Structure formats: C-alpha cells, structure tokens
Structure 1
C-alpha cells in the first residue's frame, strides 16, 4: 500500500535550533512533536558539518522511533540510510531524483520540486513519491527567487498534475490559509516558520492538526 501523506507536516530547519544544548533541544522537540501526532517530518540543514548533521538526524530518529513516523532528510541522499531516515527531498542543484532513488532504494520516500507557474516538463516521470510546488506565499525560511503562486497557482498545478499525484504546497502558509490551499488541490502542506517560531511548536502543531482533520 502506498504511503498516506498527512494533510500537514513540519519542515524543521536547523536555523530554529539553538547552538547551545543542541542535542537536548532536538530530543525534547522530537519527543513533543511525536506526542503531538506528527507522522512525517523533514529535517533541513544547509550549513555546518556532516558530523553535526549526522548527530542531529540520529537524535531525531532515536526519539521519533515509532514505526508510524517517517523522517525525510533534505538534500543528503548519501546519509539517509546511515542515519535511519525514511527518505530524502532533492531539488535542482542537488543530485537527480533517479540518482537519489538508486542510492536510497525502492522502499524509501523521495520528494522533489515540481514547479511554480507550471509543472517542470517531464517532472512527473521521475521516480518520486511526492512533488513540491510553490512558493505559495512569501517565505523567510528558504531562499528563493520564485514569485509566490497563491491559491490560484495551486489550483492550476493540480489541474496540470491530475488527481492522483501527491502535491506538497509550501512557503508562507498559515493556519488560516492552509484549508484554502488544500481545497485548491494540494495533497498536504509543509510548514516551517509558522510552527517553529511559536513558543510551543508541538502545541501549535496540534492546533493545525485539529483544524485540518477533515482533509
């Protein structure tokens, strides 16, 4: 059976992690998110050493060990199996989707960027499990020169992709706009700052999960 994506999942960017007490912070955060019902999480770390990335990933995996929780590593297909993650997200500038699939094998999840104004030609032929679209709105957590596509853009890309493709919408989505994004055709919304800028990210996730329970 194909993996069932939840209507919302967090993207934890390393910029939200304090430099001091890093391991304990990640342990406590991971435990709280698991308790709040997170079943899919992407970890993104663009800077720092491989050793630190491994340590972060292994800490998250250890505390979010329930078999129902899937962990996705941004960019680093080469480390996915080593740290026990369940998949990888690769974009332009990273390795190709096909190379990522060769590295992580057939059973793990792969995501990739699929387009903004229109789907990238041929992207749906790539061996990925989900396809990210956006930015839906303006974002502060990921550098991009692409213009926000808005709700109409999500609707347009869903029409291009057809009904069965998993489309992940991201960037600048709030609790108020998330239902509109899902109604427009996104399969799931990926959220970073709206969760991790909150005083209690796990409690904030619960609010989102309850709000989107009907999707």
Structure 2
C-alpha cells in the first residue's frame, strides 16, 4: 500500500529530480533532503539515462529520504521501478502506458499522474481516472526536450477547464521569479486554480536548495491561503451603487494632486508628448523610459506602469518593466493597440501577457474582441469596424474573468469590469475620436488613477466614499471619467473651433478638473 493516502497528498511544491543538474561538489541525496526540509511536499524521481538496476538503487534511497520526512515519492514513467521500491505512485506521459493498465498493475490506492498539454489531454486524464495532471510546459525549460509546445501561463487555464474535477500542478521552467505569475494567471474561467507547481532546476541546480524550496513554498502557501483576484488588492470598495463608484473614483483625484505619483510609460511614440502633458495636467509626473536595464530601479519609485505598444519598440523593455512592476506590486495598464491588425501584434501581446500580470487591460472594441478571440468586431488599423458587440457588458466581464484583471472597453460608451461588477460610462465628446492618441491618453489617465488608488493611506479615515486601497476598478473608472469629463468641458469652450484647438483645451480642462466636476457630470450605471 502507498505510504500516504492519495486523498491527503499535498501537491503545493512538487519536486522533479534530476541528478545531472546538481552543482559540482554537491551531493544529489543531500540536495533532495535539503529540499524536503525547505518545504517540498511531494517528489517525483526522474531518471532518463541510467539502467534499471541503477534507477532502482537511486529511487530506493530517494524514497527512504522522502518517507523519513513523510513525503510521498512518485516514479516517472517506470512502473517496474515503482513496484520494485514500493513507491506511492507513477507519473505518465502522453505516450506512456495507459492509466487503466497502470492502475491494474499498481497496488490499490497508488497515485497516478499524467502530463497534459491540451484541453483534450486533461479531459481524457480525468475520464481515465488519473489522480492529478501536470500541465505544461508553462515556460521554456532546459531540463527536458519538449515534445509539445509551450502553452504559457494563460494556456494553463484552458487545460484546467477541461479537467475541472482533477487536481493539477503546473510544470516547465518555474522559478522563484515567475511562480507568482504562474499561480495567479493559471486559473480557468470557472475559477479552478492549481494545486501547486512542479519545479526541477530551480531547486536541483541550486547550491542552497533548502532556502530556494522554502521561498517557493512560502509563495505557493501564501497564495493558497489567501488567493487574490487581482495582484494589488484582496479587498473591495463597496460597489453597491453607481453614485458610490463615482464618489470613490473622484476622491482619487485629490490623492493624485497631493502625492504626484510617478507614472512610468512605455508608449506609442506618436503620442508621447500628449500623454506626458495629460499626466502632468492631472497632477502626476511622467517618465518615458524603455531600456530594460532601467526597469528594476524605476519599478521601485513609480506609482504605476503603462505599456502601450502602438508603435511596437523595445519588447525586452516591456517584458522587464512588467516583471519588475509585478514584483513591486505596482499596477500595470496594458494597452494592446491594434492587436487584431497583424499576427506580429498578436504574438507580442501574447508574450507580454504570459510574462506578467496586467492589472488593467484597456482597448477599443476591436482590440478587446481580438484578445477574446471574437470576430464580432473587426480591426482596421487602430480602429474598430462594425456595429459593435451585441452584449458589450458580457464581453468585458468574460475577458476580465479569463485574464483575471480589470478590462476597459473604450468607445462612444465605455465599459469596465473586474469579472464580477460591470460599469457602463456614457460621458465623452465626439471630438475625442477625431484627434490622434485620445485612446492612448485614456490609458495614461487610467494608470495615473490606479497609482493613486495604490497610494491610498490605509490609516486614513476613508470618509463618505469608503474607498479601499488598491481597488483598481475604481482607478479605471476614475481615469475614464477624468478624460471624458474634460472632453465635454473642452468641447463647449468658445476658443475651441475644431480638433486643432480642442487638444490644448482638453489638456487645460484636465488641469482644471476637480472631484466636484467629476461627480456632477458623471453618467455611470451598474450593468
């Protein structure tokens, strides 16, 4: 019988061994024991290059170490080895022995895991009676020659959806640097999350395996104890009325003027000047920087990050900026300009969204449709073509659930959702759509208001608005209201005679915006 009942197995930190990864001068068995002491909860022994006798000897000694610490041992592929040493179970690949045959050969209660790369794999594993699945590869890995494509963090959720009744761990290139992103982003639209992560080289190749394992376990355990819908905020501002939302959003403007947050912007080079001026007009401070070498330092001092790839430039800078912003828990606003227009843009957007967790995704109908794999609205360059979505509120809500962030769909009417609450905003003026970069400036405004939300002093009396620190849906609503209300004030000025005079007037009205103006003009509804 297995050492540990399979229903009580903890998959939080799943170590896959690799003797060839152990650094020179370090002992494999010592590495395994140190890893277990650090927090590894289950161990799979994987040996691809040794004969059966050696495999059994290594597996037996590894099992003794694991069982001494109450940790189950799984054998990769080899049922004969698992039977020889009395392992707790086996892990099978897609080309290995079927689960049904493995089950008939192994002792009752044995654990059987299956590697899965597609929704079809996970569905079959569940139907075949597997106890858990290993989903991957999530990231690039040097420890195993991949026979299936890298699916990325966001691809894990699709695999999870097809195996909703089975436990799952993610595997492939997982490190202390990307484990938070892996856990947070690897969630199905139905809310199913990972049981844990499988790690290979991050532990096996370390000279301090106990410390590395401890850090990984702390991250995984912390996530499982208090999973957060968004990276920034486990709480919610009460969204029980549209007026409360407006009041809370408007209050952020005072925080912007008081704290003048630094807004780091990697943006479309067509609109750098307008975006910088809009940031200044709101009372914040812009910095436009794209070099990857600067990102760690900037993430320490910035209040928020805007990534707008309208004129795709330094992708490495975008990747590094997002990773650093996630690490320092700064909000990220992602504006995937014209993402549906070319395959190159879709590829870059996918790479960015797998590398880091966006706080807010902002786009027009065509851009949101492209991210949601919808053909209901088409893209013509940066513009949307068609009559729009039949149910825009449901579209943004579904995408917010899928991407686990706030989604803003801009247009004549704007929609904002966090996957639970959806808000409709009807402010704005048609002249906004006739100047270059109004959508890019909207991203700037949203990033500025999100920074203010993240800077809210939790010791302050929240006052009548009941605003909670880090509630990014309020930040998104505030940014939209600020720009759209400013456009309405600007359009009726006597000195505005067309688009050429409208743009400077718009900056003026952003500069003169007050919380009272936002509240009095807001046209906001809960959907």
- TM-score bracket for the superposition, by shorter chain length: 0.7 to 0.9
Distance 1:33 1:84, change over 3 A: farther
SS at match of 1:113: strand
Instruction: Tell me which residue corresponds to 1:203.
Output: 211
Instruction: Tell me which residue corresponds to 1:180.
Output: 181
SS at match of 1:64: helix
Instruction: Tell me which residue corresponds to 2:138.
Output: 136
Which of 22, 28, 31 lines up with 1:29 in the alignment?
A: 31
Instruction: Tell me which residue corresponds to 1:126.
Output: 128
Instruction: Tell me which residue corresponds to 2:72.
Output: 70
Deviation of the 1:126 alpha carbon: 1.1
Distance 1:51 1:130 in 2: 28
More helix by share: 2
Instruction: Tell me which residue corresponds to 2:18.
Output: 13
Q: Which has the larger radius of gyration?
A: 2
2:217 corresponds to 1:212: no
Deviation of the 1:109 alpha carbon: 0.7
SS at match of 1:73: strand
Deviation of the 1:114 alpha carbon: 2.5
2:198 corresponds to 1:190: yes
Q: Work out whether residues 133 and 168 of structure 2, in 8 Å CA contact, stay in contact via their aligned partners in 1.
A: yes
Q: Work out whether residues 14 and 43 of structure 1, in 8 Å CA contact, stay in contact via their aligned partners in 2.
A: no
Deviation of the 1:67 alpha carbon: 6.4
Unmatched 5+ residue regions in structure 2?
187-192, 225-527
**Correspondence list, 1:15-164, <5 A:** 15-17=20-22, 25-66=27-68, 68-116=70-118, 118-120=119-121, 122-162=124-164, 164=165
Instruction: Tell me which residue corresponds to 2:345.
Output: none
Segments ≥4 residues shifted beyond 6 Å: none
Distance 1:202 1:102 in 2: 37
Distance 1:208 1:74 in 2: 22
Q: Work out whether residues 133 and 168 of structure 1, in 8 Å CA contact, stay in contact via their aligned partners in 2.
A: yes
Q: CA RMSD in A?
A: 2.2
Distance 2:44 2:80 in 1: 16
Distance 2:69 2:31 in 1: 18
Q: Work out whether residues 117 and 137 of structure 2, in 8 Å CA contact, stay in contact via their aligned partners in 1.
A: no
Deviation of the 1:49 alpha carbon: 1.0
- Deviation per residue, 1:67-108 (Å, 9 max, x gap): 621001101111213212111101123211111111112211
SS at match of 1:106: coil
Larger RCO, structures 1/2 (Cα 8 Å, 6+ apart): 1
Q: Work out whether residues 139 and 171 of structure 1, in 8 Å CA contact, stay in contact via their aligned partners in 2.
A: yes
- Deviation per residue, 1:154-177 (Å, 9 max, x gap): 122222222x32112110112232
Q: Work out whether residues 73 and 89 of structure 2, in 8 Å CA contact, stay in contact via their aligned partners in 1.
A: yes
Deviation of the 1:16 alpha carbon: 2.3
SS at match of 1:89: strand
Distance 1:160 1:93, change over 3 A: closer
SS at match of 1:6: coil
Deviation of the 1:60 alpha carbon: 0.9
Q: Work out whether residues 89 and 111 of structure 1, in 8 Å CA contact, stay in contact via their aligned partners in 2.
A: yes
Distance 2:67 2:9 in 1: 18
Deviation of the 1:41 alpha carbon: 0.5
Distance 1:123 1:65 in 2: 27
Q: Work out whether residues 38 and 209 of structure 2, in 8 Å CA contact, stay in contact via their aligned partners in 1.
A: no
Deviation of the 1:35 alpha carbon: 2.2
- Using the size of structure 1 for normalisation, the TM-score is 0.88
SS at match of 1:161: coil
Distance 2:163 2:67 in 1: 33
- Using the size of structure 2 for normalisation, the TM-score is 0.38
Distance 1:11 1:29 in 2: 12
